[in-house]
Amino acid sequence: MPPAPSNSSSPPNSPRVIDDLLTLSQQLTPSKSPRTISKLRQQIQAHANEARQENINLKRRAADACEQVDAVCKPTKKRKRGDRARGADASEVNPATVEQRTRHAGRLFALTKSLFLIDDEVFDLKLDEEFDFSCEFESPENELQGQLYDIVSVLPVDVKSKIHQEWVQQAFTDGQDLIRSTFHTRIRTQALHAIVDDPKSFATSASRLSAFSKFIGYKPATKDTVAHYDRFAAPILYDKWEGKVVLEHLFRGPILLNVYASLIRGPNGAIGLFEGKSKRPQARCLERIYKLTCITPGAITVSTILALWLHSADTQLVKVGDETDIDYGLRHRVYIRRIREGLRDRKSWALGLIDYWNRIFFPNSDGARSFDASGHEQPEYDDDLDDIFDEAPSMEAPSSSGPSNNEEDAEPGSSPSHRSLRRTPSLSPPPSPTPARNSRDNRLGSQSQRPDSAVVQRRPVQQPSHRSLRRTPSPSPPPSSTPVRNSQDDRSGSQTQPPGLAVVQRRPVQQPSTSNPPLPPPRQPACRPAHSATTSSRARDRSNDLYRR
């Protein structure tokens, strides 16, 4: 038998409550003194408050009971997200596939660009083809325009023109939400043993607060400032914390790299990372799904935000922390701004940062460095760091870790509105311009060969064989060959021979030369198509000065 309900769970209209209220109300007579009336009123108010609380408790219990009933009655099959394709136009061809690929792009965006959108209205903006990325951090409008370019860069080609349709926008944000939930479970539960040394300290919100608040930059209140989490004076961001901001160690903390390895290689991806033992698994993982071959500033920033959240007291992975009030969306934009400006100005610390991550995760990849940019927010407590970032040394000569500024790197026929005109958004390395020798595609002129690749082949040296004698219908020897002495072709003229006569001709033996034969001039790569009329030459010239992703 279940236990009898306690008095606190009795309904507010129970006889006990009603009787008490009636008794007290009957005592309120004009003959009572003011002090007595005041006491009676206080007692009536107390009973009314008790009844109100009992009513709240009953509603809560009723809601819990309804949820339990629904859980028993509903099937155990996992509920799918809303069918966004239902909102597509009737003229849309295979909208379900478009929805699936758009969600795929949303997940890629959250992994390599940003965990959060600056604002949902970013989808309503018109892509500015003359946008100057050097001014990307100067206003909120430019900030949104920069993120719009990031979104377009990951969308499939046939979906870019549909970005203003609501069902496409919802599919994209569904992909973001889904992978954020995956990240939450991955780093807080599945991969925690591989990311940190002592998982026990992460059991509760209170334990994380007491153990790691200073590690993620907590500063207590002073007479001049309020308590806050400093954005750059956080030891977790550095591989060597010296008590101050040192750019050569910034964003190189081992926890940051362990988090990224766990995201792209699975729960055990961080094991042996710094010993060179972490490799891309054969199983299905994000690194294999998205063909990741190089690091991006967005991926570094996403890993940094997730590492901060992992050690915080926050329980939900949302834009603003539910316990710490850390604005993770703003924090992301602050970090990405510093990295991108450093890459744009060829600061040695920023170029070295990209090279450091690439050497750990993709040591054998020849992929071009991939740089992206978006976001602007002036830090609240690190304004004095502007001089540190601005005065950082720059690279004198082009570095191998820097991206190519050659416009011919872009794929032919790409749209001028695509961000690849300014930054290379591709995550995979471009194909080698020199194909392998003696490949079948080179011999047969395969259609899969890139139009801008040059094929250079040496003419093979012909060796004499027993099949050097053959009948040929040609009335005269080739002009380039040297006839062999004492042959019939020498004794008879080609003009006097009957047209149908077959002449036995000996093929000349070509002796190998000591010098290489002259090679045909290499084919020049196909020139990049000119910008459309909507893109001004001024925007094209400005984009050449920026690093492309």
- Domain positions in the chain: 7-73, 178-407
Q: What is the pLDDT of residues 351-379, one digit of tens each?
A: 999 999 999 999 987 654 444 433 333 33
Give the closest residue to 354 by CA, choosing from 301, 390, 396, 406.
Answer: 301
Burial status of residue 529 (CB atoms within 10 A of its CB: 0-12, 13-18, 19 or more): exposed
Paired residues of 394 in beta bridges: 347
Question: What's at 183, amino acid-wise?
Answer: F
Contact by Cβ (8 Å): 546, 423? yes
pLDDT at 60: 74
pLDDT at 431: 44
pLDDT at 52: 77
Phi first, then psi, for residue 471 (nearest 5°) are: -85, 135
| Angstrom distance (rounded) from CA 415 to CA 157 | 9
Q: What is the token pair recorded at 537?
A: 């030459």
DSSP 423: S
Q: What is the pLDDT of residues 301-326, one digit of tens each?
A: 999 999 999 999 999 999 999 999 99
Q: Which residues of 42-58 are buried (b: 16+ CB within 10 A; e: fewer)?
A: eebeebeeebeebeeee
DSSP 209-221: HHHHTTTTTEE--
Burial status of residue 320 (CB atoms within 10 A of its CB: 0-12, 13-18, 19 or more): middle
Contact by Cβ (8 Å): 292, 298? no
pLDDT at 16: 65
Angle between helices 348-361 and 328-344 (to 10 degrees): 110
| Angstrom distance (rounded) from CA 409 to CA 421 | 10
Contact by Cβ (8 Å): 201, 207? yes
Torsion-angle region of 486 (φ positive above 0: left; ψ -120 to 50: alpha; else: beta)? left
DSSP 269-334: TTTTTTTT-----SS--HHHHTT--S--HHHHHHHHHHHHHHHSS--S-SSB-TTT--BHHHHHHH
Give the global pTM. 0.57
pLDDT < 70: residue spans in the chain: 1-18, 67, 70-93, 366-384, 387, 396-549
pLDDT at 19: 73
DSSP 122: G
pLDDT at 459: 43
pLDDT at 134: 86
Contact by Cβ (8 Å): 528, 421? no
| Angstrom distance (rounded) from CA 458 to CA 77 | 63
All residues at 6 or more sequence positions from 34 whose CB lies less than 8 Å from its CB, including other chains:
none
Residue with tokens 């870019």: 160
All residues at 6 or more sequence positions from 508 whose CB lies less than 8 Å from its CB, including other chains:
481, 482, 483, 484
Give the closest residue to 260 by CA, choosing from 211, 312, 298, 213.
Answer: 298
| Angstrom distance (rounded) from CA 423 to CA 408 | 13
Give the closest residue to 155 by CA, choosing from 187, 130, 127.
Answer: 127
pLDDT at 478: 47
